[in-house]
């Protein structure tokens, strides 16, 4: 058939109209972009003007500060040279010296001057006669920043801003720079209002604002003209596209609607329907192809139902296998008790696929031999308990799989030499055994038996192997769960031991010392008896509270009320009051927030170190230092006591001090830090712990 006017030509005409529409859309987008560019230009002009003014003001103020500094330095140098030329002239005698007055009082800016005062803040030279001889301590009471600059100036060069009321009653910022005069007690100060230097930039700011406004008005005018032009073009294109669309719809949509109707009829299953089309183009060719396809579908449909039925049966079995695997996976993730999991898996597998029996064998850790752990037999729910092992012949099917780790499929056990008959399973005709492995290690065997010959296929082998892999994961999870539980118990025991040693043991030691002191005071100083008994009672209450907090793994009470530094200071004060030993506590560095476990660890290490000092050091001076560094915090506890040598100390001291040192070291290492003890006989002891804060 010869194509008269092809669909390609029709589509070409359509795309011509589409191109015109696209041009209108592009024009609209371009117009929007121009508007946005105009807006950005205006905003950038405004921003640039503000930036220029602000930069100019900052530069002028910086220049003013430099001029003030240079003026103060120059005047100080001139005064220094003056005294070098007049070595016999005392500073206290120079107030009336006119030459020195001219040097000391010089103009700075429009209203500022330099002045000179001594280190006791007494004014020697000033442009204000009322200040000469006055003490600046009284004059500079307010504002506070002014006095702060004067205080720093006696130790070296100092500068800063302060607010001051001008002659018109307006409060304006001033800048002052002070320079000590070498070899004398005098200090030179240069000061003036800092905005005197930035005043020229204010006029520039007004001019820039006017220029930006004029530019913005011009851009808005041009944008309005462009919008009107583009709007007229777009309206014209809309008219053209509308006319072309109407004509194209009459030419193209008729045959397409007819073709659509035919396709819908064929799609409903009426394969005898024929589409009639006489357009002489590709649409007619397409209709003829649909007619040919319908004929072919009619011929193929006859064989399709049989294939679908066979495929549906296979997919149903596959779905059952996947459902079983999913159920086992869900149970494995929620059950860690093998005595519950193994029979569940066996019964689920047997009931879902109608197997005769499903057996699960595992290696015994003690004997290293394969033992039956679960038996799920058709017709009963019984299973062999774990406590009654059933050993397996190593030359049997299960034994061979356990040794090699390879699966074995026997669809006729009568022809399998490795098969071992069991009286209770005499109906078995087929057997499938796969290894339960974790990596290369065989943990056990999953054994499946059927009463039919050729009962197992590749799908059964895949299912059994997948279930065996999941059982291996379950066994490993059970082992890891038990190990984790034991580690958790051990960690909790160690934590309780450290808490008891760091709180109760120290509290009991303090109670014993107070009771011994009370016993001694009973015969020597009865008036001290009540104080010692009261302290022992307070220690007992505190120890009881700490015991309860340790059981519930709570933070120390001191850290719930105070930051670490204050809590350590509180411990040091209590130690000083209880022992009478002189203790110095210092905090250095920039303080920062710490994790609760870091604060608790450092507090316990400090408490244990002070307890060791109390019991063993025989010292008169103790120093506790807490240092905040950039990424670590350091605690140092040192004394000038008797010290010790770990390799020569007596056994009693080893028994008393070993756990304390071990506990402090474990706390520091548990927080990712380090712990060191430095001590020499007769030269005191240093305990140092460094903990990271990030």
CB-CB contact of 137 with 121 (8 Å): yes
Structure tokens at 238: 């809309």
Which residues have CB under 8 Å from 339's CB, separation 6+?
Answer: 386
* Residue 582 pLDDT grade (very low, low, confident, very high; cuts 50, 70, 90): very high
| CATH number attached to the domain at 74-200 | 3.30.450.20
Count of positions (residues) in the chain: 694
Give the 3-state secondary structure of residue 621. strand
- pLDDT given at position 106: 92
Q: Which residue has the tokens 């590749």?
A: 458
Judged by phi (left if over 0) then psi (alpha if -120 to 50, else beta), residue 175 lies in beta
- pLDDT given at position 382: 46
- CATH of 319-330+338-476 among 3.40.50.1820, 3.30.56.10, 3.30.450.40, 3.30.470.30: 3.30.450.40
Q: Which residue has the tokens 């930036």?
A: 51
> What is the assigned CATH class of domain 559-694?
alpha beta
Q: Which residues make beta-bridge pairs with 178? A: 158, 189
- pLDDT given at position 685: 93
- pLDDT given at position 115: 92
Beta strands (DSSP E) in 560-684 are: 582-589, 621-628, 632-639, 674-679
Q: Sign of dihedral through CA atoms 662, 665, 667, 672?
A: negative
- pLDDT given at position 674: 93
Please give the DSSP secondary-structure letter assigned to residue 528.
Answer: G
Same fold, 74-200 and 319-330+338-476: yes
CA–CA dist 633, 635 (Å, integer): 7
CA–CA dist 59, 68 (Å, integer): 14
Give backbone dihedrals phi and psi of 167, rounded to 5 degrees, phi first: -65, -25
Structure tokens at 70: 């240079």
CB-CB contact of 176 with 156 (8 Å): no
Give the 3-state secondary structure of residue 580. coil
Q: Report, as an integer, the average pLDDT of 168-196.
A: 90
Q: Sign of dihedral through CA atoms 322, 327, 331, 333?
A: positive
* Residue 74 pLDDT grade (very low, low, confident, very high; cuts 50, 70, 90): very high
Q: Sign of dihedral through CA atoms 598, 604, 606, 612?
A: negative
Query: Could you report the per-residue pLDDT of 209-262, keeping only the tens digit for each?
Result: 777 777 777 777 777 777 777 677 777 776 776 666 556 656 666 677 777 777
- pLDDT given at position 66: 92
CA–CA dist 161, 216 (Å, integer): 39
Domains of the chain by residue range: 7-58+202-260, 74-200, 319-330+338-476, 559-694
- Largest Cα separation within the chain, whole Å, is 135
Which residues have CB under 8 Å from 599's CB, separation 6+?
Answer: 555, 559, 563, 564, 567
Q: Measured between alpha carbons, how far apart are the two ends of the chain, in Å?
A: 82
- pLDDT given at position 498: 56
């Amino acid at each position: 058939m010869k194509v008269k006017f092809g669909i390609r030509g029709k589509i070409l005409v359509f795309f011509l109209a589409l191109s015109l529409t696209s041009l209108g859309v592009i024009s609209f987008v371009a117009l929007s972009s121009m508007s946005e560019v105009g807006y950005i230009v205006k905003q950038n002009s405004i921003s640039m003007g503000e930036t220029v003014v602000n930069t100019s003001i900052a530069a002028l103020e910086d220049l003013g500060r430099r001029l003030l500094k240079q003026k103060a330095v120059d005047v100080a140098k001139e005064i220094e040279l003056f005294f070098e030329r007049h070595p016999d002239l005392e500073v206290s005698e120079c107030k009336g010296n006119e030459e020195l007055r001219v040097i000391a009082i010089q103009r700075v800016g429009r209203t500022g001057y330099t002045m000179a005062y001594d280190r006791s803040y007494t004014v020697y030279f000033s442009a204000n006669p009322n200040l000469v001889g006055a003490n600046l301590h009284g004059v500079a009471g307010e504002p506070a920043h002014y006095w702060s600059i004067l205080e720093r100036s006696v130790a070296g060069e100092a500068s800063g801003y302060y607010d001051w009321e001008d002659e018109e009653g307006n409060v304006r910022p001033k800048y002052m720079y002070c320079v000590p005069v070498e070899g004398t007690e005098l200090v030179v100060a240069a000061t003036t209002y800092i905005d005197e230097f930035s005043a020229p930039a204010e006029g520039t700011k007004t001019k820039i604002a006017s220029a930006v406004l004029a530019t913005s008005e011009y851009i808005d005018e041009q944008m309005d003209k462009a919008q009107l032009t583009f709007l007229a073009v777009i309206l014209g294109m809309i008219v053209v596209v509308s006319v072309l669309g109407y004509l194209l719809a009459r030419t193209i949509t008729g045959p397409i609607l007819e073709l659509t109707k035919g396709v819908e009829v064929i799609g409903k299953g009426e394969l005898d329907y024929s589409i009639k089309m006489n357009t002489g183009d590709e649409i007619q060719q397409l209709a003829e192809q649909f007619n040919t396809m319908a004929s072919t579908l009619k011929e193929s449909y006859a064989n399709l139902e049989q294939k679908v039925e066979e495929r549906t049966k296979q997919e149903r079995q596959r779905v059952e296998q996947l459902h079983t695997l999913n159920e086992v996976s869900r149970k494995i993730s929620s059950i860690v008790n093998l005595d519950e999991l193994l029979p569940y898996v066996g019964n689920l597998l047997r009931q879902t696929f109608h197997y005769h029996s499903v057996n699960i064998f595992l290696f015994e850790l003690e004997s290293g031999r394969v033992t039956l752990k679960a038996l799920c037999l058709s017709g009963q729910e019984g299973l062999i308990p774990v406590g009654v092992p059933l050993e397996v012949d190593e030359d049997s099917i299960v034994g061979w799989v356990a040794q090699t780790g390879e699966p074995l499929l026997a669809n006729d056990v009568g022809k399998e030499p490795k098969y071992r008959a069991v009286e209770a399973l005499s109906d078995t005709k087929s057997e499938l055994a796969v290894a339960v492995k974790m990596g290369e290690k065989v943990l056990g065997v999953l054994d499946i038996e059927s009463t039919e010959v050729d009962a197992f296929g590749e799908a059964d082998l895949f299912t059994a192997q997948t279930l065996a892999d999941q059982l291996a994961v379950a066994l490993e999870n059970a082992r890891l769960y038990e190990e984790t539980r034991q580690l958790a118990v051990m960690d909790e025991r160690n934590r309780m031991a450290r808490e008891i040693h760091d709180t109760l043991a120290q509290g009991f030691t303090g109670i014993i010392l107070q009771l011994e002191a009370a016993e001694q005071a009973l015969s020597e100083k009865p008036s001290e008896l009540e104080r010692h008994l009261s302290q022992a009672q307070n220690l007992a209450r505190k120890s009881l509270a700490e015991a309860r907090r340790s059981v519930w793994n709570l933070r120390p009470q001191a850290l719930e009320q105070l930051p670490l530094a204050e809590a350590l200071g509180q411990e040091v004060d209590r130690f000083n009051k209880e022992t009478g030993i002189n203790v110095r506590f210092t905090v250095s560095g920039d303080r920062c927030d710490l994790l609760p476990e870091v604060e608790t660890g450092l507090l316990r290490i400090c408490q244990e170190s002070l307890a060791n000092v109390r019991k063993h050091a025989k010292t008169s001076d103790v120093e506790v230092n807490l240092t905040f560094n950039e990424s670590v915090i350091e605690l140092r506890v040192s004394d000038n006591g008797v010290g010790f040598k770990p390799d020569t100390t007596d056994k009693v001291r080893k028994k008393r001090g070993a756990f304390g040192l071990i506990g402090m070291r474990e706390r520091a290492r548990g927080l990712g830090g380090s712990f060191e003890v430095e001590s020499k006989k007769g030269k005191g002891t240093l305990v140092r712990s460094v903990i990271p804060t990030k």
